[in-house]
Amino acid sequence: MFDQSRINALPVHESAPASAPAPLQGLRVADFTHFIAGPLATMNLADFGAEVIKIEAPERGDDFRHYPTVDPEMPAQGSAFLWGNRNKKSLALDMKSEAGLAIAKELISKADVLVENFSTGVMKRFGLDYETCAKLNPKLIYCSVSAYGRDGPYADRLGFDPIAQAESGFISMNGYSDRQGVRSGAAIMDVATAMTATNAILLALIARQRDGKGQRIEVALFDTAIVMTGFGAMQHLTTGYEPQRNGNTSPDTCPSGVFMSQDKPLYINCGNDKIYQRLFEQVLDRPDLANDPVLSQRENRLKNRDFLFEVMNEAFSKQPWSHWAPLLRAANVPSGHVKTLGEALASDEARSRGLVTRIPHPVKGWIPNISNPIRLSRTPAVPPVAPPAVGADNESILLNDLHVSKHRLKELREAGAFGVDSSTTLETPAGKVTA
C-alpha cells in the first residue's frame, strides 16, 4: 500500500509554461518494450513531447507493472513501473491474434520510431522484424535493445542488469579486497543502456532529416556495461593491469574515501594536489601536512594512505557534520554527507533542483515523480503525466491515431485484438468500465 501521507507532503510538480514548444512534438513511437532499459529510453522521448504508444499484453500488461511496491487500488501500476513509464499511452493488443497483429502493423506504418527489447527472435516470429517493418515504413527508425546484440553466437542469451555487471568485469572492480566483488544495488547498466538507446534514436532522427531514410539501431546491455567499467578498461589494455577492489578508497587519488564525523559519515575526494593542500590547511588546520614536501605529491600520498586516514578520522570525529560541511565548502573541497536514499530524496540539494515532486493520478489522487534530469531552456520537458493503466488508450489510439471507424473497432474487439474480454470491457486510467 502506498503511503499517501508521504506522497501528499511532496511539492506539486511545477511544469514549464504550456506555450513552451516540445522538441519532439509530432514524433510517434511504437513502444514494444518491457522491464527497464527499453521503457526508460522511450520515456526519455515521451518526456520531451513524443507520442509514445506502449504496446502490451491485455489484462496483465508489462511484467514490470507488478514489481513491488504495488498498491491494491491499482494492481498493475507498481512503484517500479511508475518510475519508468511516465507520459505514455497504453495500447493493449493480443499479438497472437491476426486482428491484434494487424493493428500493430498499422501503427508501425504510421510511426517514426519503433523500440523493442524482446528476446532475440520474438519480433521475427510476430512478423515484425526490421526487414519487414522497413517495407511497411521505409523511414522507420527501428531500435533493438538486447543483452548481447541481435547477431552473433550470443544473440540467443537472456541477460539482465546483474549479469551484465558480472560479465563485463564491473563486479570484479567493486567492493572490498578481502571478499568477492559486489554488484551495484541500482540497475545502472539498464539505466545507462536506456540513455545510450535514447541518444542513438536521436542521432538516427537527425540522419533521417538529412536523407529521408530510416535505419536499424542496435544497443546491447553488455556493450554498455563494458563502457561503464570506465578508464579501467584502457588501463588494462595498455598495461595488463587488472583493477583491484578498493572499497570506498581510490586507487588513483588520496585521500579519497569515507570518514566518520561525530555524528554522520562523509565522503572526501581529493582529486589533485591543490585540493589536498586546501583540505589540510584550511579545514583540518594542519599546514605542516599540507605543505609537507613528500605528502604534497599524489604518488606519495597513495603510499601513505593509512597514515593520512588515521589523521583525518581522528580530526573529523571531534565535530559533527554540521561543523565540517561549511568549512569543506568554503575551502572548495569535494565532499558530501553519505546519505541513505531517503535522506537524498528529501535533501536540500534535491529540493533545490525540483527533482522529487508529486503529480496527479486518476486513482490515487497523487503519485511521486522523479524529474527528468535534462534541462532545456527553450524547449523543456512536457508536463509529466502518470503512466497509464493497461489498455487505457485503446479506443483513442484506434479512433484518433489510426482513424479506425467505430464499426471496425467493434469488429476488432470481437476478433480478439484486445484480448478475450475486450468485447465487454475497456481499460481506462481509473480501471475497467463496460464498453
pLDDT at 363: 96
Tell me the helices (H) and strands (E) count for the chain, helix number first: 20, 13
Instruction: Identify which of 113, 14, 52 has the alpha carbon closest to the alpha carbon of residue 393.
Output: 52
For β-strands 335-337 and 265-269, DSSP reports them as antiparallel
Number of residues assigned to the chain: 435
- pLDDT for 95-109, tens place per residue? 999 999 999 999 999
pLDDT band at 1 (very low <50, low <70, confident <90, very high): confident
Hey, what amino acid is at 416? G
Please state the pTM of the whole predicted model.
0.93
- pLDDT for 168-225, tens place per residue? 999 999 999 999 999 999 999 999 999 999 999 999 999 999 999 999 999 999 999 9
pLDDT at 280: 98
Rounded-to-integer distance, Cα 420 and Cα 271, Å: 61
Rounded-to-integer distance, Cα 181 and Cα 163, Å: 13
pLDDT at 432: 39
Examine the pLDDT at 424 and tell me if it is beyond 50: no
Which three-class secondary structure string do you get for 152-217? CCCCCCCCCHHHHHHHCCHHHHCCCCCCCCCCCCCCHHHHHHHHHHHHHHHHHHHHHHHHCCCEEE
- pLDDT for 341-353, tens place per residue? 999 999 999 999 9
Q: Please, which residues have CB within 8 angstroms of residue 71's CB and are 6 or more apart in sequence?
A: 1, 2, 77, 78, 364
Rounded-to-integer distance, Cα 301 and Cα 303, Å: 5
Q: Please, which residues have CB within 8 angstroms of residue 371's CB and are 6 or more apart in sequence?
A: 13, 353, 354, 355, 356, 357, 381, 384
Rounded-to-integer distance, Cα 158 and Cα 264, Å: 42
- pLDDT for 217-259, tens place per residue? 999 999 999 999 999 999 999 999 999 999 999 999 999 999 9
- Neighbour count for residue 434 (Cβ, 10 Å): 6
DSSP letter assigned to residue 149? -
pLDDT at 425: 40
- pLDDT for 274-300, tens place per residue? 999 999 999 999 999 999 999 999 999
Rounded-to-integer distance, Cα 183 and Cα 304, Å: 29
Alpha helices for 186-320 (secondary structure H): 188-211, 221-227, 232-239, 273-278, 287-290, 298-303, 305-316
- pLDDT for 385-395, tens place per residue? 999 999 999 99
pLDDT at 434: 32
- pLDDT for 28-83, tens place per residue? 999 999 999 999 999 999 999 999 999 999 999 999 999 999 999 999 999 999 99
Examine the pLDDT at 16 and tell me if it is beyond 90: no
Examine the pLDDT at 428 and tell me if it is beyond 70: no
- Percentage, residues of the chain above pLDDT 90: 94
- Percentage, residues of the chain above pLDDT 70: 97
Tell me the torsion sign for CA atoms 204, 160, 374, 226.
negative
- pLDDT for 66-80, tens place per residue? 999 999 999 999 999
pLDDT band at 435 (very low <50, low <70, confident <90, very high): very low
When pLDDT is averaged across residues 399-403 and rounded to a whole number, the result is 96
pLDDT band at 17 (very low <50, low <70, confident <90, very high): confident
When pLDDT is averaged across residues 320-345 and rounded to a whole number, the result is 98
Rounded-to-integer distance, Cα 336 and Cα 258, Å: 10
Which of 62, 112, 190, 401 is labelled catalytic?
190
When pLDDT is averaged across residues 151-173 and rounded to a whole number, the result is 97
Rounded-to-integer distance, Cα 52 and Cα 32, Å: 10
Rounded-to-integer distance, Cα 107 and Cα 427, Å: 19
**Residue ranges of the domains in the chain?**
4-229+348-434, 265-337
Active-site residue flag, 190 = yes
Rounded-to-integer distance, Cα 125 and Cα 107, Å: 18
Question: Is the separation of the CB atoms in 86 and 52 below 8 Å?
Answer: no
Examine the pLDDT at 433 and tell me if it is beyond 70: no
Examine the pLDDT at 19 and tell me if it is beyond 90: no
Tell how far CA 89 is from the center of its chain: 19
pLDDT at 429: 39
Rounded-to-integer distance, Cα 227 and Cα 230, Å: 6
For 4-229+348-434, the fitting CATH number among 3.40.50.1010, 3.30.450.40, 3.40.50.10540, 1.10.10.10 is 3.40.50.10540
**What's domain 265-337's superfamily in CATH?**
formyl-coa transferase, domain 3 (3.30.1540.10)
Residue 362: all three cell numbers together: 486518476
- Give the chain's mean pLDDT: 95
Query: Are domains 4-229+348-434 and 265-337 of this chain identical in fold?
Result: no
pLDDT at 421: 59
DSSP letter assigned to residue 94? -
